[in-house]
Amino acid sequence: MPNPIKRIGVLTAGGDCPGINAVIRAVTKTAIYKYDLRVFGIEDGFQGLIENRIAPLSSLHVSGILTRGGTILGTNNRSNPAHCFVGNDEDGKPKFADVTPRCLDNINAHKLDALIVIGGDGSMGCAMPFVEAGVNCIGIPKTIDNDVAGTDLTFGFLTAVATATDALDRLHSTAMSHHRVMVCELMGRNAGWIALHSGIASGSDAILIPEIPYDIDRICTFVKNRMAHNRGFSIIACAEGARSTDGKQIVAHVDPTRPEPIRLGGVGQHIATQIQQRTNIEARTTVLGYIQRSGTPIANDRVLATAFGYHAIEQLMAGKQNRMVSMTNGTLCDVDIKSVAGKQRLIPMDEPLLATARAVKTCFGD
């Protein structure tokens, strides 16, 4: 029986990250060259689906984009069709509406047989109303945070770790020269994967992650002991979602109009201030921020992204419905997209890298 798939749409939702263009390229070229499909790019994630900003993608459009950061389609981390911000009411409170029917009309107008959704856990959640409406959605896990459930690895993560490691390496010389504590605040939301990997790779003295609440007194004792034994400095890799033993995280901003209203940030400065006040040792903060999400993907991310894009089309043409590409135990496979939507993959306490770091006397603040 011939496969009914003839026309597909592809969108990139959520935050940008290195490797998205490599996925778009692999999806488009595999679809066109191997299966003679028509591919349509949806601009700015689900916002483009809402506003009917959908246009054909050819092999020429994706030529030469493998090494480029960002996404040629644009992205958006504010749009959730099932809970779309449509303005404020008379009291200034945000109003929301379910615009899924509008999106379905646009999908039907372009005769799209399936959607390729490139995004993180939130984006997979945004795809659920379309899955429930009968649209075949194939997900590709994208985020520097590496926190998408159902896969051991997301593309973009390895490049972010390389960037963070380079920054931590560079902080060593300043910390050593001035005999200071240098706290580097890294991205990751509620998951500490970037901080853990880059912290180990850079030989950071302390690694603070959301999964292990920190005790500021223990951090201060650790730092003072290093100074007393002629170490002269300390490097702390700190995830933006790191929380103290009271369970509190430092929130930079709350925007009720966004699907994820809480924006974390500021914990690095908070910890540095606490250390300096309690120990009289100079402490400084570096917030790496969006640099981790920017720039050219490293070779491993280009390969992973290309493999993910190819596998997504292979799943689709094999007749599979509503799957997400996955890398599990080093093997490319796929999982039910419903089982991972909206779920975060945090660092488990039996993660081998935690024991590895502790064995070389890395402090986790606990």
Considering the four listed CATH numbers 3.40.50.720, 3.40.50.150, 3.40.50.460, 3.50.50.60, the one that applies to the domain covering 159-294 is: 3.40.50.460
Q: What is the pLDDT of residues 165-221, one digit of tens each?
A: 999 999 999 998 899 999 999 999 999 999 999 999 999 999 999 999 999 999 999
Phi, psi at residue 43, to the nearest 5°?
A: -75, 140
Percent residues over pLDDT 70 in the chain: 99
E strand spans, 229-315: 234-239, 251-254, 262-264, 283-287
Please tell me the predicted confidence (pLDDT) of residue 256: 79
DSSP secondary structure letters along 309-357: HHHHHHHHHTT--SEEEEEETTEEEEEEHHHHTT-B-PPPTT-HHHHHH
DSSP 8-state code for residue 224: H
Q: How confident is the model at residue 4 (pLDDT cuts 50, 70, 90)?
A: confident
**Please, what is the average pLDDT of the chain?**
93
Q: Is 94 exposed, middle or buried (0-12, 13-18, 19+ CB in 10 A)?
A: middle
301 assigned to active site: no
Q: Is 175 exposed, middle or buried (0-12, 13-18, 19+ CB in 10 A)?
A: buried
Q: Dihedral, CA atoms, 18, 20, 26, 27, nearest 10 degrees?
A: 160
Largest alpha-carbon pair distance within the chain? 75
Query: Could you give the CA distance from residue 250 to residue 210 in angstroms, rounded to a whole number?
Result: 11
User: Which residue of the set 16, 44, 121, 145 is catalytic?
Assistant: 145
Please tell me the predicted confidence (pLDDT) of residue 251: 86
Q: Which of 74-83, 285-294, 329-338 has the lowest mean pLDDT?
A: 74-83
Angle at which helix 216-228 crosses helix 267-279, to 10 degrees, equals 60
Segments of the chain assigned to CATH 3.40.50.450: 7-155+297-340
Mean pLDDT for 130-158 is 96
For residue 118, what is the enclosing H or E element?
strand 114-119
Segments of the chain assigned to CATH 3.40.50.460: 159-294
CATH tag, 7-155+297-340: 3.40.50.450
Mean pLDDT for 134-149 is 96
